[in-house]
Chain A
Amino acid sequence: MRASPPPSEPVPAITGEDFLKFKEFFYRKTGINFESAKRYFVDKRLVERIEATRTGDFRGYFTLLRFQDSGEELQQLTNLMTVNETYFLREEYQFRCLVDSILPEIVQRRTGSHPIRIWCIPSSSGEEPYSVAMYLMEMWSGISDWDVEIISSDIDTSILRRARAARYSIRSVQHVPALWLEKYFKGVANEYQLCDDLRQAVEFTRVNLSEPADTFRYRNFDVIFCRNLLIYFDDVSRKTAAETFYEALNPGGYICLGHSESMSRISPLFKVCKFPEAIVYRKGLEAR
């Protein structure tokens, strides 16, 4: 008979000092800032990882987090600490703005035939970049004349796997018109599997927006969707992110933020563009 493993010791509670230490470290690594109001959310996940890694207490876990060569645990924890709540065609007016105002303006001044490049960050589980792809196919006549590349990035590697798999709950597709649902999805055991054509149209990549070594490869974009991410950043990280987007955009390129976010409160780098469908932000045409 095999003896059952001894019950593990309960993890000592995370103290206020531990929280502050972790908060500073995590902010430095990811740009994500947790206020004290998020204490319960953070503590719960820290305890979960202390148990999973059998490091015993915060001190042991923090040592692992800081000194692990592979950075694997930091990635695991980041996956847990990020919020991935979205659905298809969320804030649809911005997609309408994309096809009715932004893209026509971009192609009008385009010289040459190089592809239009769109960057969606964060990708979360893929609903947003796939919504962009679907919207372009269904609502933009220019798709027959132009190549479009959609790149979508996230800091969370497990959510990127889910995005590539592209299988969704009923709740996630509830705003997709019936015809599109029929055309692009297949029902699989109470879920919806996105068709391969759209899955293959989006390139998913892992990016930490606060890490220049990650972001320097992201250049020559015409449109960036960065919705409901910067609300988790503090002022300085928001500014740094805005500067990263500025570098990533072509002159005259656009950035679309979530409805509660305003670039004007973050950075003076972009100009406000009031289109009939939405307010978006643009890098100056004369900018380099």
Chain B
Amino acid sequence: MGLVKRKAIPPAEAAKPKQEQSCMELAACLEDADPRTRRRAARDMLHCPHAAGVLASRLNREPDTAVREVILTTLVRLNDPSAAGRMADCLRSEDAALRNEVIEAIGLLACDVSDVLRSLLADPDPDIRIFAVNILDSRRQPDVESWLIEVIERDAHLNVCATAVDVLCEAGSEAAVDPLLRLKDRFRSEAFIQFAANRALKSIRGA
């Protein structure tokens, strides 16, 4: 017993799968009972055309966290704007972990997701609008402040506005001062908004 060195890593040729799987086969593997097969298929679909749609449609049904994680990473790497909308559908899921994973993944997409964000921010469900603000928070896009200002100027729901104010504490500049004052005026009787907006104003003015 002790430290041993054999050819612990097989040479590439010996270990290579006998043949590359076609995109259709990979798509079929996404439905396999074994999560390892689904995980590898999700990873290998990176080079398949139309992969975004196939992966996004699996996402909502996928029970295994590790497979979901690979699906989301592949979707982010595909960077296909059409996938963002399909991913956003998962924000309506009852599964909080899935919702958080999707918020993070859309935040990582390098492509323009303005259309998706606009539609999420106009959703009748305030929870979906809060998730949209969370996505704005996670995206490092330069115009995030103007999106947040629009939210606090227009959204009627206290919690949606409060979430946006929270992000403005970090992302806000002088441009957010007047909208924050108007928000305070709009929710005059809501102590929490008064507190949150004052905190944001202090953070902006102190900066």
Seen from chain A, the residues whose Cβ lies within 8 Å of a Cβ on chain B are 115, 117, 133, 136-137, 143-151, 198, 200-203, 205, 212-213, 216-218, 235-236, 239-240, 243, 246-247, 267-269, 287-288
Contact = CB atoms under 8 A, between A and B. Distances in A.
Contact of B12 (A198, A217, A236, A268): A217
A145 B1 contact: yes
A147 B5 contact: no
Interface string B6-24: 1111111001000000000
9 contacts: A115-B4, A133-B3, A149-B3, A201-B5, A202-B5, A217-B9, A239-B69, A269-B66, A287-B66
A218 B1 contact: no
B4 A149 contact: yes
B43 interface: yes
B32 to A, nearest CB: 12
Contacts of B101: 268
B49 interface: no
A235 B36 CA distance: 23
B161 interface: no
Nearest to A267: B69
Contacts of B119: none
A288 B8 contact: no
B73 A243 contact: yes
B108 A288 contact: no
Interface of B: 1-12, 15, 34-36, 39-40, 43-44, 65-66, 69-70, 73, 76-77, 97, 101, 108
B82 to A, nearest CB: 18
* Interface-centre pick from B5, B10, B11 (highest chain A CB count, 10 A): B5
Given A136-B3, A151-B8, A201-B3, 9 more contacts: A149-B5, A150-B5, A198-B3, A203-B9, A217-B10, A243-B70, A247-B40, A288-B34, A288-B36
A151 B8 CA distance: 7
Contact of A236 (B1, B43, B76): B76
Contacts of A267: 69
Contacts, number: 80
Nearest to B76: A236
A148 B43 contact: no
Given A137-B3, A201-B3, A268-B69, A217 B36 contact: no
Contacts of A133: 3
A133 B2 CA distance: 10
A121 B36 CA distance: 23
Contacts of A144: 1-2
A143 B44 CA distance: 38
A148 to B, nearest CB: 5
Given A218-B9, A236-B77, A269-B69, A243 B3 contact: no
A50 B10 CA distance: 36
Nearest to B109: A236
B8 A269 contact: no
A147 B66 contact: no
A212 B5 contact: no
Contacts of A217: 9-12, 15
B5 A243 contact: no
Nearest to B12: A217
Contacts of A143: 1-3
Given A143-B1, A149-B6, A203-B9, A239 B15 contact: no
A151 B63 CA distance: 34
Given A236-B76, A268-B101, A269-B65, A203 B3 contact: no
A118 to B, nearest CB: 10
A240 B77 contact: yes
Contacts of B10: 217
A246 B108 contact: no
B41 to A, nearest CB: 12
Contacts of B6: 149
A221 B153 CA distance: 54
A217 B101 CA distance: 29
Given A218-B9, A236-B76, A150 B3 contact: yes
B160 to A, nearest CB: 26
Given A236-B73, A268-B97, A287-B66, A203 B5 contact: yes
B35 A288 contact: yes
